[in-house]
Amino acid sequence: MPACPSAQGLMPSFSLLRIPVLLAIALFGGCAATQPAPALAPFSTDGCSMFPDRSLWSDTDWCSCCVTHDLAYWRGGTAEQRMAADEALRACVLRSSGSPGLAELMFNGVRAGGEPTVLTSFRWAYGWPFGRNYAALTPDEQAAAKALQAQYENNPQPRACTK
């Protein structure tokens, strides 16, 4: 016998409450799954964004350092991967130019201007729609990035670093 026989007919059964909940899950829960995942855009580069690609006074050229750096920025990833890319840029510019001052200037520039939260064409993870910020690439995203990089490298069109 129920503890409160007079309330027995007033409470809806749990099976009746489950129907609207299950219906809401079926209708709205599937919305996220139907939207396609954001796609990585084909790789593009302008060389050393907002900075000269080479010396104005000699034949010293560091543009290839910038393109390698752009590949990392286009792909995106974690904050640690960004720091590694920026440090690699600094080392490459130092090797190419022999100038510690230039290498440090470029390093500080990309650290200040390459944040993923800044809406620029050269931000970290610029190959992805804005808002990705720092995120490790999934295996599928890594495969897509590798394929798009190969497509760029096999394309005979002029490169950013041609004089």
137 falls within a domain: yes
User: What's the pLDDT score for residue 21?
Assistant: 47
Q: Taking a C-beta distance cutoff of 8 angstroms, is the pair 135, 40 a contact?
A: no
Q: How many structural domains compose the chain?
A: 2
Residues 72, 146 within the same domain: yes
Residues 71, 149 within the same domain: yes
With a cut of 70, which residues of the chain have pLDDT below it?
Answer: 1-37, 163
Residues 30, 69 within the same domain: no
113 falls within a domain: yes
User: What's the pLDDT score for residue 129?
Assistant: 96
Residue 33 to residues 8, 27, 37, 129, 145, Cα–Cα distance (Å): 41, 11, 9, 18, 22
User: What's the pLDDT score for residue 159?
Assistant: 74
What is the amino acid identity at position 94? L
Domain limits for position 24 = 5-34
